[in-house]
Amino acid sequence: MSLIENATSENREAAAPLLELRGLSTHLGSLTRPVRAVDDVSLRIHFGETFVLLGESGCGKSMIALSMMRLLPHAGRIVAGDVLLDGQSLRALSEAEMRAERGGRIGMIFQEPMTSLNPVMMVGEQVAEAVRLHDAESHGRVQARVVELFRSVGIPDPERRVREYPHQLSGGMKQRVMIAMALAGRPELLIADEPTTALDVTIQAQVLDLLKQLQRETGMAILLITHDLGVVAEMADRVGVMYAGQLFEINDVGGFFREAAHPYSRKLFRSVPKAENRDLGLDVIPGIVPALNQVFDHCRFADRCELVHERCRNSLPPWHGDAENGYRCHLAREEVKDSPGTPIALRQAGEGSNAALLEVQGLKVHFPIQKGVLRRVVAHVKAVDGVDLSIATGQTIALVGESGCGKTTVGKAILQLQRPTDGRVLFDGTDLAGVQGRDLRRLRREFQIIFQDPASSMNPRMLVEDIIAEGLVAQDIGGNRVQRRTLVERLLGQVGMQASAASRYPHEFSGGQRQRIAIARALAEEPRLIVCDEPTSALDVSVQAQVLNLLKELQAELGLSYLFITHNISVVAYLAHEVAVMYLGRIVEYGDVEKVLNNPLHPYTTALLSAVPVPDPQHQREVIRLEGDMPSPINPPSGCHFHPRCPHAQPICRDRYPDTVQTDEGTRVACWLHSPTD
């Protein structure tokens, strides 16, 4: 009997949920003062339903999933409550019985596919292992079932792909392999833990559509863990909002977006960057999440809530509603009100001068591919292949595109961290290609970089004081250690942190605080240009709002220029003045941010924007499907690089790369749809 026949009858759905958590509590660490990672969580998920868990990093979302699967770390333990799957207690099962459930009735997709796949095993064999363990129906036809699974998740040429290794697949393909593995046991419940966080919007749209299609075909329920409100709007039937290990709200998706019940939920909505809020500061949540190694006798959101009352600090909030729909708060629904964002007085871009601070002309970065004992160069990876852009003082240029298109390499080449193969990088009129050694080091104080992951870009054994002052020491500026300490404390205050942070280590701070430290380090040498390489991609929406506000305030105060590398279009709409869209090492469209986002001219830009999830469940987007993956920069297609995936490709697109033309509105575009043909 198929899953859809076995699990989706209306009577059964009405009678009992597929999954039920009853007062689940999970502790980590010591027995005397444990971290209460999950604290008295109750919820239900029905057959064929998508339930989304939403919340900040560290709030307990993933720990709920690991508790359900009984895959807790060594120091973790379930101390109270129960997990029922179709009425059966998973806590009561032996480890051998639980192994049959994992990958069987419960499938799981982890956040990072590269770390979840064995790099020395063919991907087909890894999926075959799951089939042998959990799919009795496919006994004797394992390989045929693996090919069938690959085909069902949209992997082209599955007969060939099953013999490839993880490193031979793109990020989107690796995630599809993980989905195929999770489906091998024909699950009734699929747990997807941030399955699209590391993916570009085009690949994210494909994965989300695939999950919805598979759900329609099999009738399985989905527990989706995310912090992206756009993904919530597109996927959810019901939403659970987590904070500090506790469920604060359960709501149907329409009610959640129309009128969220909890003050924390409403704060999340006001933290989302939007184009219409460009002149307003994003509404941030002050303070940090409280430590979870304590017994709470009050509302754990009280110190950060703008609607806090005395009773919030003195007693635990009650739960209004039931396990299907409700919220945890002292306030009645009608008492939960919104407040507007805080205006920021923005300085006009390019004030005092219209001259470009940075001018990039024909930038190329080609990496040689060497083979043989003599290391002969047999080809080149054309990571950047002729990029032109300019940034004025006080302006932000956003550089967007899929992973692997060359965005980060452009940033490194501008800073001369990667020497260009060809082209010119003019900084305030000086060609950086002709500057070497000590002169380049002296000039580097004028331009700095903020890396994507602040934790990995800081020495964990150095104090924050030494991390921020490292550039000052290298440039021999800032005076002695006492004077530098004073400067470091001033910089910390400038980015909204206490001076005492200078005497602590990076691991003692949250992700948002570490990113503030990274910004303080970049500001230490008083630069005029900062390259921001995906500085908010790993941050929750509330922490992202803090960082974006800070960047805007610093730009207004100091007249900084930013090259902002990202794939988050909502951040581009909020922060950037101009946007450049990259594809396979070249800029295909470049212009004013409002004109490009509201009226894209290049088919790739149009497809990119169509794939962006909108935080509105009523919004019906039409995603433009791009065939295949981005071609290899080692051997790019002839003619226009985009033509193999373009829905508007013409014969001339296959023969010649189009010239870049400027429209009447000032947008530059490289496309034969807008270029004159001979």
Q: Is the pLDDT of residue 651 over 60?
A: yes
In 219-280, alpha helices (H): 229-235, 253-259, 263-270
511 near 539, Cβ under 8 Å? Answer: yes
Euclidean distance between CA atoms 641 and 618, whole angstroms: 36
Average pLDDT for residues 542-559, to the nearest whole number?
86
How many Å from the N-terminal Cα to the C-terminal Cα in the chain?
Answer: 63
Q: Is the pLDDT of residue 216 over 80?
A: yes
The one-letter amino acid at 247? L
Query: Where are any strands of DSSP class E within 29-158?
Result: 35-45, 50-54, 76-85, 88-89, 106-109
In 260-415, alpha helices (H): 263-270, 310-314, 407-414
- Residues counted in the chain: 678
Average pLDDT for residues 420-426, to the nearest whole number?
94
How distant, in Å, are the alpha carbons of 208, 233, 258, 613 from that of 236? Answer: 11, 6, 14, 13
C-alpha radius of gyration, the chain, whole number: 26
Euclidean distance between CA atoms 606 and 626, whole angstroms: 11
Lowest mean pLDDT among 255-269, 446-460, 598-612: 446-460
Nearest one of 295, 62, 201, 191 to 537, comparing CA atoms: 201
**pLDDT band for position 538 (50/70/90)?**
low
580 near 410, Cβ under 8 Å? Answer: no
Give the per-residue pLDDT at 10: 46
What mean pLDDT is reported for the chain? 87
Lowest mean pLDDT among 10-14, 355-359, 481-485: 10-14
Euclidean distance between CA atoms 233 and 449, whole angstroms: 34
- Judged by DSSP in three states, 287 sits in coil
Task: List CB contacts of 83: < 8 A, sequence separation 6 or more.
Answer: 19, 20, 21, 22, 24, 67, 68, 89, 90, 91
Give the per-residue pLDDT at 129: 93
Q: Is the pLDDT of residue 659 over 90?
A: yes
Q: How far is CA 420 from the centre of its chain?
A: 29
Give the per-residue pLDDT at 397: 96
Task: List CB contacts of 659: < 8 A, sequence separation 6 or more.
Answer: 670, 675
SS3 assignment for 623-642: CCCCCCCCCCCCCCCCCCCC
Please give the backbone phi and psi of residue 263, each rounded to the nearest 5 degrees, phi first: -55, -35
Q: Is the pLDDT of residue 502 over 70?
A: yes
How distant, in Å, are the alpha carbons of 58, 465, 486, 508, 652 from that of 505? Answer: 19, 9, 18, 6, 58
Percent of the chain with pLDDT over 90: 52
- Judged by DSSP in three states, 10 sits in helix
Contacts within 8 Å (CB) and 24+ apart, 138-142? none
Average pLDDT for residues 552-561, to the nearest whole number?
89
Give the per-residue pLDDT at 344: 47
Euclidean distance between CA atoms 46 and 13, whole angstroms: 6
In 279-386, alpha helices (H): 310-314
Place of tokens 């870009």: 457
Euclidean distance between CA atoms 124 and 149, whole angstroms: 10
**pLDDT band for position 4 (50/70/90)?**
very low
pLDDT tens for 338-365 read: 655 444 444 444 443 567 899 999 999 9
How distant, in Å, are the alpha carbons of 41, 186, 270, 521, 541 from that of 305? Answer: 22, 44, 14, 31, 17
**pLDDT band for position 678 (50/70/90)?**
low
Beta bridge partner(s), residue 22:
82
Place of tokens 């979302």: 61
Kindly report the pTM of this predicted structure: 0.84
How distant, in Å, are the alpha carbons of 84, 263, 270, 496, 507 from that of 285? Answer: 35, 11, 10, 13, 21
Euclidean distance between CA atoms 187 and 85, whole angstroms: 12
pLDDT tens for 54-111 read: 988 778 898 999 999 999 988 899 999 999 999 999 999 999 999 989 989 999 988 7
How distant, in Å, are the alpha carbons of 373, 423, 632, 636 from that of 377? Answer: 11, 21, 17, 18
Q: Is the pLDDT of residue 207 over 50?
A: yes
As given in the structure block, the two tokens for residue 24 are 């689940």
